[in-house]
Amino acid sequence: MLFLRISSLLIIYTVTSVLSEVSQPKVCIDNGCILGKYYTSQKGNEYEAFLGVPYAKPPVGELRFKNPQPVEPWTADYDASFERSKCVQKNDLWIDQKVEGDEDCLYINLYKPKQAKREKLAVMVYIHGGGYFSGSASKGEFGPDRFMDTEEVILIVMQYRLGVFGFLSTGDHAATGNFGLKDQNAVLRWVRQNIDRFGGDPELVTLFGQSAGGASVQMQMMSPLSKGLFARAWSLSGSALGFWTKPNENPLKFAREQTLAVGIESAADMTSEELVEALRQVDAKVLGQSIDKLKFWHVFPLTPYRPVVEQFVDEETFISGDQRDLWTRGEYLQVPWVTSFVPNEGAFASLALIVNQTLLDRLNENAGSYLTRLLGCPDNEKSKQLLKERFFSDGSEDSWITQANAHKIQDIMSEAFITFPIAQGVQQHIALDNPSKARIDVRYFNFAGRYSHSKYFAKDDGKFGVCHSDDLIYLFRAAGLFSDFELDSEEYAMAEKLVEDYVRFAYDGLKTNNCQDSSCSILEYSNSKDSEKPYKLNDIEGFDEAMIKFWTEFYTC
C-alpha cells in the first residue's frame, strides 16, 4: 500500500514536472537557455514570446558611453516571460512627459508562431521610432498578433540607447558616439548568431523601422558593420537625409554644453576624457532631464542628439562619413528597399502647437526666426522669405499665422521632417549609375480608421487626418494605446492586408521595379466604399515636384 502511494506521488510529480516544462517554450542558445511564455492572439492562435532577452551587457557604470559589449553566458534558465524596462528617456513627442526608464535596457522581445507554415521562417526585425530620444519595445505598443497569425515570420522588436546615453560624442576616442545605432547593429549580429535556434532563417532577415527607426534602417544600410546582416529593408515615415538627422559638426562643443547643463561649471577647461568621466558620475534621471536646458523654445530642437560622423576610426566604427554624401554616392547595401509615408507626417511636431493658443501666439510673435531655426536653417533671411511666401502669404509681416492658415504648420513639418527627405532619397537612388542597384518601392498609407496617434500628440480629439505613426496601428496590436479592432471591422481587414504585404516582402523582396527613369509609381492604401473590401489600392504618380523644388532651395541655407 505504501509502495503504491509513493508510486502515485512519483507519477503525479513527474507529470506535473513535464506539464511545467511544456507550459513554457524553451530555446537554448550559446549563452544559455531561455524560458518564454505562450500567448494567444486576438484571432485565437498561440504564439511563443521571449520577452526581455539580453543582447548586450547593461551599459551602466564604466560602460555608459561605450560601445555595446557581449552578454556574459548564464547557467540557470533565463526567465524571458516578462518585459524589461525601457531605456532612459523624456518623450517630448507627447505632452507633459517626465523622465522614465532605466540604463539597463538593452533587450529584445522575440515572437514566433507556435505552429509554423514553413520549416525556416523569415525574420522581421523592428526598430522603434521616437526621434532618437524616446520609444521602447513594449508589447502594449508593438503587439505581434497580426504577424503571428500569418504563421510565417519571427518578429523581433528591439530597444537601444537614446538621447545623451545613445548619442553623446566628443568627436574622438573618449566618446565616439552612435552608441544607439551600434546597439541596433548588435541586435542584428545577435540575430545572425542565434535565430536558427528559434526556427528562423539568418539569410532572410528584413530590417524595418518607423520615424527615427526608419532613418536608422537607412543608417544600417550605410554602415560597413551591417554587411551580410539583413536581406531586405523598409523605412516607414523616416529618412536619414532629413535635417533632423544632420550630423553635429562640433560634437565636442555640444558635449561641453551638455556638461554645463547638469551643473558642471568647469566644463570649458576639461579634456574630452574628463568630460565623459564627469558625465558618467551624473545620475541617469538628472542627465535625462537636462535635455530641457538644450532647447531654445518649447521642445525644439526635437533631436539635439543624433548620429555623428565618427572621427576615431577602428573596427567598431559605425559610420565615418556624412550619411547624406554616402547615400548620394550609392555607398550603401544594395538590398530591396521600401520607403513609405502618410499624409500628416508633421503631426508629432505641429499638433501640440496648433491646439495650444499660448504656444501658437508665441510662435507667431517669432515666426520667421523660430520656424527657420527649428527646421535647421537659423537666422537665414532667404529661408524666412521662402516660408512666408509659400505657407503664410495671407499673413502680415508682423503676424504670419492666422486662424485661416494655422493648419499650414502641419504641412511645413510634414514636408521638412519626413516627405521631402524621403523623396530626396528615392530620387538619388533612381539617379545612381549602378547596374547592380537594388529595386526600391514607395508606399503611401492613406487609410483613415477610428484611432489616431493625434490623441497623444495633442491630447485633443480633433480630426487631423492620417497622422505620423497611424500606419503602425494596423501593423501591430497596440492594446496599451488603443482598443482592439473587431475582427470583422474595416480596420482589421486593412490590417491583415498591410501585414500580408510586409510578409510577402520579407520572403520575395520586390518582383517589379516601380521606381525608374526619374520617377516612381507610388502604391496608395486608402478607404473604399465597398463593404466587402473596405480598402483600395491605387497607383499615384510620383512625388510633388513643386514641394521638392521648394525644400531643395530652402536647404541651400
> Is the Cβ–Cβ distance between 130 and 211 less than 8 Å?
yes
Dihedral of CA atoms 150, 151, 153, 156 in degrees, nearest 10, equals 90
Which whole-number Å values give the CA distances from 497 to 139, 263, 503, in the listed order? 21, 52, 10
Helix (H) or strand (E) holding 440: strand 440-446
Tell whether the torsion through CA atoms of 525, 528, 533 and 538 is positive or negative: negative
* Locus of grid cell 517630448: 92
What 3-state class would DSSP assign to 529? coil
Which stretches of 8-86 are assigned E, i.e. beta strand? 26-29, 32-35, 37-40, 46-54, 78-79
CB burial of 111-148 (b: ≥16 within 10 Å; e: otherwise) equals bbbeebeeeebbbbbbbbbbbbbbbbbbbebbbbbbbb
Selection from 477, 462, 448 nearest residue 407 by Cα: 462
Angle, CA 550 vertex, CA 545 and CA 556 arms, to 5°? 130
Cell of 464: 487631423
Partner residues linked to 100 by β-bridges:
89
pLDDT for 462: 77
> Is the Cβ–Cβ distance between 279 and 267 less than 8 Å?
no
Alpha helix (H) residue ranges in 342-462: 347-354, 357-365, 367-374, 381-391, 408-413, 420-431, 454-458
pLDDT for 557: 85
Residue 159 phi/psi, 5-degree rounding, is -120, 150
Cis geometry, peptide bond prior to residue 301 (ω within 30 degrees of 0): yes
Q: How far apart are CA 155 and CA 145, in angstroms?
A: 10
Q: How far apart are CA 429 and CA 423, in angstroms?
A: 10
Which whole-number Å values give the CA distances from 212 to 111, 180, 197, 492, in the listed order? 23, 11, 30, 26
**How confident is the model over 484-498, as pLDDT tens digits?**
999 999 999 999 999
> Is the Cβ–Cβ distance between 64 and 125 less than 8 Å?
no
Question: How many whole angstroms from its chain centre is CA 121?
Answer: 23
* Locus of grid cell 508665441: 362
* Locus of grid cell 526567465: 79
Cell of 538: 491605387
Q: How far apart are CA 164 and CA 537, in angstroms?
A: 42
Q: How far apart are CA 295 and CA 553, in angstroms?
A: 26
Cα R_g (the chain), whole angstroms: 24
Q: How far apart are CA 233 and CA 510, in angstroms?
A: 11
Selection from 412, 424, 410 nearest residue 339 by Cα: 424
Dihedral of CA atoms 20, 190, 230, 89 in degrees, nearest 10, equals 90
Residue 369 phi/psi, 5-degree rounding, is -75, -40
pLDDT for 187: 98
Name residue 89's amino acid.
Q
Name residue 90's amino acid.
K
What is the DSSP code string of 293-308?
GG-SBTTBSS-SS---
Partner residues linked to 54 by β-bridges:
107
Selection from 50, 45, 38 nearest residue 148 by Cα: 45
**C-beta neighbour count of 396 within 10 angstroms:** 9
Cell of 75: 547557467
Name residue 510's amino acid.
L
Q: Which domains does the chain have, with CATH numbers?
A: 26-335 (3.40.50.1820), 346-555 (3.40.50.1820)
Selection from 32, 179, 9 nearest residue 105 by Cα: 179
Residue 100 DSSP symbol: B
**How confident is the model over 262-278, as pLDDT tens digits?**
999 999 999 999 999 99
> Is the Cβ–Cβ distance between 141 and 476 less than 8 Å?
yes
Q: How far apart are CA 103 and CA 85, in angstroms?
A: 8
Active site members: 211, 345, 468
> Is the Cβ–Cβ distance between 111 and 125 less than 8 Å?
no
Pairing of strands 153-158, 107-113: antiparallel
Name residue 317's amino acid.
T
Q: How far apart are CA 128 and CA 214, in angstroms?
A: 8
In which residue ranges of the chain is pLDDT below 70? 1-22
